[in-house]
Amino acid sequence: MKILIGGDIEGIATACDWDSITPGHPDYERNRLQYTNEMNAAIEGAFNAGATEVYVRDGHGGNKSLIPELLDKRAMHIKGRCSEDFRAMILTIETGYDALLFIGYHAKAGTPDGVMCHTMARAVDEFTLNGLSLPEMGYNALVAGMYNVPVVYLSGDQAACRQAKELFGGIVTTAVKKGLSRCSAICLHPQEACDRIRTDVEKALKNGERCVYRMEGPYTMYCSIRRNYDAPNIEKTLQTASLEEALHLFWTLT
């Protein structure tokens, strides 16, 4: 069983504000460590469930937030920016995997209880495909669906887990914090978060529901992006028969 784990840092148990996940901030290294620990918990859970190959991809920012030397040595680390590729957050998905797992994910832009909620970029107010408002997990799940790879699991804040259930049905999720606002939350102890992730990933891969997430074409992609000062939002709409074209345009705009 070959597994890809796509990570993002905003949804880990110890991160609640933008400064704390920014290089140079006193809390950044602590959050990098927790991000790596939560990823390792998922890796261990995957191997406990019978995985033979596990690949991890840091989808956050410059793709440098995981600490390579502290990662479980059984896993392969997919490194590098590759910003021109609309599949960059789950790079190598096209090579074929038995399951996709999301670690540290956050809710979409505008979610009242979503900790650091946003969609790809903080300036994005809305992203829809065929009228359905999508978070990053939905975008990446559609990319995975192009290659018949099912989404099996997600960890993040409570709002992200709720949105995962809405999109993907009964997949296993782990809520590591409950958002009080965009920059505050009630959080699990860091070790407790890792313990739950390890257990839940194993359960998801052994007995959990799987969702190959697809959407029928043709496609209408819409996004609204804020500009500086008081200028009106930039709004883009694309109608196309190609899902790849629709996703690629949104990716390049953000």
pLDDT tens, position by position, 116-149: 999 999 899 999 999 999 999 999 999 999 999 9
Q: In the chain, what are the domain boundaries?
A: 2-109+135-213
Model confidence at 86: pLDDT above 80: yes
Q: Does pTM surpass 0.75?
A: yes
pLDDT at 87: 94
pLDDT at 141: 98
Q: In whole angstroms, what is the distance from residue 214 CA to residue 19 CA? A: 35
Model confidence at 230: pLDDT above 80: no
Q: In whole angstroms, what is the distance from residue 132 CA to residue 231 CA? A: 26
Q: Percent of the chain at pLDDT above 70?
A: 100
Q: Please indicate whether residue 25 is annotated as part of the active site.
A: no
| The listed CATH number (3.90.180.10, 2.60.34.10, 3.40.50.10780, 3.40.50.2000) that belongs to domain 2-109+135-213 | 3.40.50.10780
What's the chain's Rg over C-alpha atoms? 17
Q: Percent of the chain at pLDDT above 90?
A: 89
Name the 3-class secondary structure at 125: strand
Model confidence at 229: pLDDT above 80: no
Q: In whole angstroms, what is the distance from residue 133 CA to residue 129 CA? A: 7
pLDDT at 82: 85
Model confidence at 94: pLDDT above 70: yes
Give me the catalytic one of 60, 106, 118, 248: 118
What does the pLDDT average to over 213-221? 97
